[in-house]
Amino acid sequence: MTTPQTARPDDADAAPDGHLSRRMFLGLGAAAAVPLTAEGRVRPVEGAPSTSGTLTAQPAGGERLRGVSATLLCDALTRLGHDRARFTLAHDIRATVATEGTMIGPAVTTQYAPGRGGSADDIRRFVFDPVDAAPAGSVWVIESGTTERVSMLGELIVVACRQRGLAGIVTDSGCRDIEAIGRLDLPLFSTGTVLYGPGAAIHPVAANVPVTCGGAVIRPGDLVAADVDGALVVPVEAIDEVARLVEELQGKEDATRAALARGASLRDAYQF
């Protein structure tokens, strides 16, 4: 296990161009926490082109969807007329560590883009700060900005997420340190494992802005849900309507299940 170290841009571990070396990046995993505001809201990330303002810990109606399967949420959104091509994430974003139940929570986001490798300041502002300031129960969503699978995070960052009480992490690229992460009991959804980080191919450019992850646009505060069947986003303005329909669909499923248990035929028991 790498021993965390406090690193600065002028450390000997910094690359000649001022960007982060792998060793320095790992050391920054011990960066100091950024506290929440007194109201328990997300403190906007300084310098980020964010239009989202502050985020509450849970959107109205979000608690009603806790524990609901991703498939049932998908059915509800579809019945309400939402385009599944827009609210479901790509099929290759899967549970990377053993996961039970459904991870669900409001999104906090980090956005990467192609280009130079990230500086220490970029990493602090757009990767560490949104995690440190995230309300408990949030889901951290990372847009990688690349089609290549690279590791967007490892054990130390997941330790920080768990300490902050995040509900889980979703990225459209890879991750590493999976054996260690698997012991942390925090849901992680990615495209798979990979040994190496992004290097100079991409760099973080913003936090708590709308991102595109797995083909779906996810805004700060939208509900992100994922389980072993897949991942999706519930737009914040649709949460109450989805919650009402989910209750109806759950009632029909329960009635069908009970009828089948009594020996009814599938034709007679199934409620559409």
Residues 73-98: tens digit of each pLDDT: 999 999 999 999 999 999 999 999 99
**Could you tell me which residues come within 8 angstroms of residue 237 by beta carbon, excluding any fewer than 6 positions away?**
none
Better-predicted residue by pLDDT, 69 or 115:
69
Model pTM?
A: 0.79
> Quick one: pLDDT at residue 164?
96
Check: CB of residue 230 under 8 Å from CB of residue 89. Answer: yes
Please tell me the class of the 60-236 domain: alpha beta
Provide the pLDDT for residue 45. 36
pLDDT in tens, 234-258: 999 999 999 999 999 999 999 999 9
Q: Which two tokens stand for residue 83?
A: 């385009």
- pLDDT over 70 at 60, yes or no: no
Amino acid code (one letter) for 156? L
Instruction: Decide if 216 contacts 87 (C-beta within 8 A).
Output: yes
Q: In this structure, is the dihedral angle defined by the CA atoms of residues 123, 128, 130 and 131, taken in order, positive or negative?
A: positive
pLDDT at 61: 63
The predicted-structure confidence for 162-186, as pLDDT tens digits, reads as follows 999 999 999 999 999 999 999 999 9
Q: How many residues does the chain have?
A: 272
Does an H or E element contain 113, and which? Answer: strand 103-114
Residues above pLDDT 90, as percent of the chain: 72
The helix/strand/coil state of 148 is coil
Confidence (pLDDT) at 33: 29
Domain ranges of the chain: 60-236
Roughly what angle, to the nearest 10 degrees, separates helices 70-79 and 239-261? 120
